[in-house]
Homo-oligomer: A and B are copies of this chain.
Amino acid sequence: MSTHFQMIAIGHVDGGRGPAEDDQWGASRAAIVLDGLPEAALTGLDSFSHCEVVFVFDQLPESEITTGARRPRGNPDWPLVGILAQRGRNRPNRIGVSVCRIVAVSGNRLEVEGLDAIHGTPVLDVKPVLSGFLPRGAVREPDWARAIMADYW
């Protein structure tokens, strides 16, 4: 089994927010601009309401990656949680996955709303949201996971 993979950004985030902050992402408008992929890669994406964006938290220094457990957002009121049991950016491989709303597709630009990635973020993949791939069965989560979302969007 190979364990090392070279990934090449297929595009980048244009516009949207500057600093990497934790909250108030809901109304954020941005575009994903393709680099080096033909425009045809986006054909038909506008028949979906939402897409999932796979990106790299490239502004995070690798020295800040957590491999074990930490408190979400460093908040002492919340429990020690493994890095794979939270969605913070200080994670191995620094991969982010976010669902956002599709506003429009125009040439090599995919306009989106509510993407929690900053200007210039390298994008590795975009996938349509199919209802059949959403969680099957009720979603259960701990209290801190609801609290952390209170002001996010």
Contacts and interface: CB of A to CB of B under 8 A. Distances in A.
A131 to B, nearest CB: 5
Interface residues of A, number: 80
A3 to B, nearest CB: 4
A92 to B, nearest CB: 5
A73 to B, nearest CB: 13
A47 B141 contact: yes
A127 B87 contact: yes
Given A40-B82, A85-B44, A10 B93 contact: yes
A128 to B, nearest CB: 5
Interface string A12-50: 100000000000001000000001011011111101111
B131 A97 contact: no
Nearest to A150: B132
Interface of A: 1-10, 12, 26, 35, 37-38, 40-45, 47-52, 54, 56, 58, 67-69, 79-87, 91-95, 97-99, 101, 110, 114, 120, 122, 124-142, 145-146, 148-149, 152-153
Contact of A80 (B37, B44, B101, B148): B44
A101 B122 CA distance: 29
B132 A153 contact: yes
Contacts of A126: 84
Contacts of A12: 1
